[in-house]
Structure 1
Amino acid sequence: MPTTAAVLLSSIALPGLSSSPAQAADCVPRSAVSTNAWNVVHCGVPDIDQHRNGLDATGEKYCVPTAAMNALFWFDKNGYPNMLSGNYDAMSSEPNTFSEVTRKIKSLAARMNTQDDGTIVSDAVNGLNSHIAEKGYSSRFQAKYRSVAYDPSPGRAVAVALAGDLNPGMAIGKVIRKKNGAVVGGHAVSLTASYGAVGGLSRITIHDPGTQGFGGNGQSPTIPLTYELGTFVPGLGHKIIGYGYNGESVYFQGMITIS
């Protein structure tokens, strides 16, 4: 098993059980974090499809750069307009816009050294920091990896990452998939909300780039998915209840934070 910093994140579309009312059209941003409770919501985060023509293998292994692109687009529309060049609607299926978003994902994937079997976490962090530096924001933002594999309160950790310090941050979640007792792969998602309390329920909302789009030729609508964090397994993290398919169990293991 490779070390945490070298785990490959490939991709698979994983179904969700519910959408989050906090991410609906009337979404209200929230940023409240205390020692015992938290409620942080980012509105307007894109939900870009990784499965698109123009990427190798139609984007099958591009979950990490696509989830990261969601974060960069959000920053670009929320106070940091040079984070990405141009002015594009990331959720548009208009052919020229869709192609430009695809090119941006491909460029970021090159920085992250994305390969046929996925993206190494450390390469993803380095690629993000390279992009941030090129855009002139290295004094404001830094990408880092944070493990939650042994964290008793990972939902609060997500809330702290999204709330940021002086300004809101973003987070890209890393999950591990197990079946019949063996690790069968990893995946990356965009973390957009976290709410809960110590000793009570803890829920996270994600945008999953693996959600199937329109055969790679167009962008599907935003599909926010909210899950409860459940059983804690040391070294793997908390089980994401209801996330997975065909008998898989999925665990929230860590996240790349940008703050």
Structure 2
Amino acid sequence: MIRQAIIAAATLSTIALPAVAAADPIIGQPVPCVKVADLAGADFSVKQCGVSDVDQYRAGLENNGGSYCGPSSLYNVLHHWAHDRNAPVGWLTTKVKNLDPKDPADHNIITNSVGRIGVDAKYTSKGTKLSNLRTAWTIATKPARDAGWSTATEGISPHGNADFGGDMAKRLARGPLQMLYGRYSAGPQNSLQRGGGHLVTVTAVDGSFGGNTVQVRYMDPAKAADHGVGDYLKTQSAYSTVTATLTKRSVYEYSPVTDNPDTDTDESLTPGTYRTVTRWQLTTAGSTSTTTVLVEGFNWFDMAPPVG
């Protein structure tokens, strides 16, 4: 049985600071991450620590990793379980516990690991699917099951879900999530049409059970301050977190018919289909995006060490 952990943390207000700020060793140091798992009452607040932020853009991957957001965001999840929970995850002789994304000596091995996740998740030039990424998780966690650990994973969609935000909070309390969103533009008949998607690693959520708005924080494998600068494809960028708001909305979605290159008929000329679905719109402060970003679901992951 997967056990619930009780986390206690001291606040900064309990620390006596010296009178001379220049001599304070805390100045200039990052604030330590403190786990939060508050699911009591009408509101929730959950935060996970020990999550990496590996870059998807890497030399050695197809198109320099342009479509490797899925494998990269899943690696972040595995990093958490290996380093924060001491879970034995990895592939053959490659153990995630022994790898540090910030260590240049481990960069190539991590690139190979991201590539391995891509293979197990049936990567194509268009990216990876949530379901196949769950398969990749199951493969990477086999060493843990062989050592007596229990593992679990599943996907959750917002459509037909009465409390998508609440589900995010409950699942995040156990471990980081992998969230999928699509980028939509105006389609025919006042609809929205999907033009591509992206996967990120969720580390924190705040909101109310049964509510229509959630605040999230996530690691985005495509975002890096040094993107396009120097040898960025051969180095790990500084970790960063994106803060966003998710708002529940009903979407009238248009799906065009894709042409089959193996037939003489141009199927793309066939009228597409329409449907009304529930999505959660993602917005970030100061965004200049010309597309509508809609969350389409997430993968959750869980593990527990052997008992006894």
Pairwise TM-score range, normalised by the shorter structure? 0.7 to 0.9
Other-structure match for 2:111: 102
Q: Answer whether contact 2:130 2:298 (CA < 8 A) is retained.
A: no
* CA shift in 2, pair 1:200/1:255, >3 Å: closer
Pairing partner for 2:238 from 218, 221, 224: 221
Pairing partner for 1:195 from 202, 206, 209: 206
Other-structure match for 2:66: 60
Other-structure match for 1:44: 50
What is the 5 A alignment of 1:92-241? Answer: 92=103, 94=104, 96-136=105-145, 139-163=149-173, 168-180=174-186, 181-198=192-209, 199=211, 201-212=213-224, 213=227, 215-234=232-251, 235-241=277-283
Deviations 1:121-145 (A, max 9, x none): 2211112112212442685211211
Distance 1:245 1:118 in 2: 24
How far does residue 169 in structure 1 lie from its aligned partner after superposition? Answer: 2.2
**Fraction of identical pairs, as percent:** 20
Question: Does 2:74 align with 1:73?
Answer: no
Distance 1:197 1:207 in 2: 22
Q: Answer whether contact 1:207 1:224 (CA < 8 A) is retained.
A: yes
* CA shift in 2, pair 1:112/1:200, >3 Å: closer
Determine helix, strand or coil for the equivalent of 2:100.
coil
* CA shift in 2, pair 1:127/1:236, >3 Å: same
Letter in 1 for 2:78: L
* CA shift in 2, pair 1:238/1:35, >3 Å: farther
Distance 1:197 1:228 in 2: 13
Aligned-residue CA RMSD (Å): 2.1
Q: Answer whether contact 1:151 1:237 (CA < 8 A) is retained.
A: no
Based on CA coordinates, which of the two structures has the bigger radius of gyration? 2
Question: Does 2:260 align with 1:254?
Answer: no
Gaps of 5+ in 1: 1-23
The 10-residue stretch of structure 1 (138-147 or 183-192) with the greater mean CA deviation from structure 2: 138-147
Distance 2:159 2:288 in 1: 21
Deviations 1:151-204 (A, max 9, x none): 3543322111111xxxx2221001111012211111100000001124475201
Deviations 1:59-104 (A, max 9, x none): 0010011000000001001223411315121233x1x211111111
Determine helix, strand or coil for the equivalent of 1:182.
strand
Distance 2:35 2:289 in 1: 35
Other-structure match for 1:31: 37
Q: Answer whether contact 1:143 1:256 (CA < 8 A) is retained.
A: yes
Deviations 1:202-233 (A, max 9, x none): 20111001114453121111111111112412
Distance 1:157 1:35 in 2: 15
Determine helix, strand or coil for the equivalent of 1:136.
helix
Other-structure match for 1:20: none
Letter in 1 for 2:200: V
Determine helix, strand or coil for the equivalent of 1:122.
helix
Q: Answer whether contact 2:246 2:282 (CA < 8 A) is retained.
A: yes
Letter in 1 for 2:171: A
The size of the alignment, in residue pairs, is: 230
Gaps of 5+ in 2: 1-29, 187-191, 252-276, 303-308
Q: Which one scores higher on RCO, CA 8 angstroms, separation ≥ 6?
A: 1
